[in-house]
């Protein structure tokens, strides 16, 4: 069994013993990626390690990140994704393991010169183990849901949130890109999503970046518990 690959936001490092680990730069055909390594895990922070040089969602090099994980011997990948809720019944603090996604903008691909068509899916095996890990950690996760990916970095308008809510449950800026590249690289991928805020207009209080960051920090401990539980299943 190879390493478990993890893609997450930088706030996760504030809550994890991984913050004390050394990093390794990985050179790939798609560019450089920086990974935190243990014997059983390879973690890449999709927004970078330096808050002063935060990588905005539309600038993330997903191809380099996933290729680096593959080169490091990863056999499965978990995306830890911060999301906004599209439904009032999915309040901040909810944990969702999505089973499908929507994106209406172009996703990156590792294939530059030839036509390759995949049928995008999330790994059911990884999803099943994530659900089991959540249950074993005593966390009541929602085990299905649709993730709608937007380009970012701006947030959505009220009208966009109302439209998306007809077809999806949560909204974010990264998961679909990761899922597509992972599948092209034959890496089983699924995601555990924390709902960190209500989408713009779902409640009367205006949505702010500070609210999103606060929600992410609050949910990070719960997500780490799921990850630790998953590692027991993985090994």
DSSP assignments along 197-209, one per residue: EEPTTSSSSPP-H
Whether residue 90 is predicted with pLDDT greater than 80 in this model: the reply is yes
Whether residue 13 is predicted with pLDDT greater than 70 in this model: the reply is no
- State how far the Cα of 206 lies from the Cα of 148, in Å rounded to an integer: 21
Q: How many residues does the chain have?
A: 235
pTM of the model: 0.92
pLDDT tens digits for range 169-226: 999 999 999 999 999 999 999 999 999 999 999 987 766 777 777 777 778 889 999 9
Contact yes or no for 107/183 (Cβ under 8 A)? no
Whether residue 153 is predicted with pLDDT greater than 80 in this model: the reply is yes
Contact yes or no for 176/61 (Cβ under 8 A)? no
Q: Which two tokens stand for residue 158?
A: 């009220």
78 contacts: CB under 8 Å, gap ≥ 6? 4, 5, 6, 7, 126, 130, 189, 190, 191, 192, 227, 230
Q: What is the CATH number of the domain that holds 95?
A: 3.40.50.1580
Range of the domain at 111: 3-234
**pLDDT band at residue 40 using 50, 70 and 90 as cut-offs:** confident
**pLDDT band at residue 232 using 50, 70 and 90 as cut-offs:** confident
Counting the structural domains of the chain, the total is 1
Tokens 């014997």 belong to 39
What is the β-pairing status of strands 170-172 and 146-149? parallel
Question: In this structure, what are the phi and psi dihedrals at residue 198, rounded to the nearest 5 degrees?
Answer: -80, 145
């Amino acid at each position: 069994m190879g390493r478990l690959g993890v893609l997450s936001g930088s706030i996760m490092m504030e809550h994890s013993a991984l913050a004390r680990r050394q990093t390794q730069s990985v050179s790939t055909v798609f560019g450089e990626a920086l990974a935190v390594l243990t014997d059983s895990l390879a973690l890449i922070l999709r927004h970078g390690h330096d808050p002063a040089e935060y990588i905005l969602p539309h600038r993330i090099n997903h191809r380099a990140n996933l290729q680096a994980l593959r080169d490091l011997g990863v056999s499965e990948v978990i995306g830890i994704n911060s999301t906004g809720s599209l439904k009032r019944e999915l309040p901040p603090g909810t944990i969702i393991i999505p089973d499908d996604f929507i994106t209406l903008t172009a996703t990156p691909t590792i294939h530059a010169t030839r036509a390759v068509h995949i049928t995008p899916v999330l790994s059911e095996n990884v999803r099943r183990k994530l659900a089991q890990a959540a249950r074993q950690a005593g966390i009541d996760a929602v085990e299905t849901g649709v993730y709608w990916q937007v380009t970012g970095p701006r947030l959505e308008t009220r009208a966009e949130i109302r439209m998306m809510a007809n077809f999806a449950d949560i909204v974010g800026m990264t998961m679909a890109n990761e899922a597509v590249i992972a599948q092209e690289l034959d890496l089983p991928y699924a995601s555990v999503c924390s709902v960190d805020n209500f989408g713009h207009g779902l409640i009367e209080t205006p949505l702010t970046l500070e609210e999103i960051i606060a929600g992410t920090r609050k949910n990070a401990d719960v997500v780490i518990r799921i990850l630790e539980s998953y590692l027991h299943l993985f090994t």
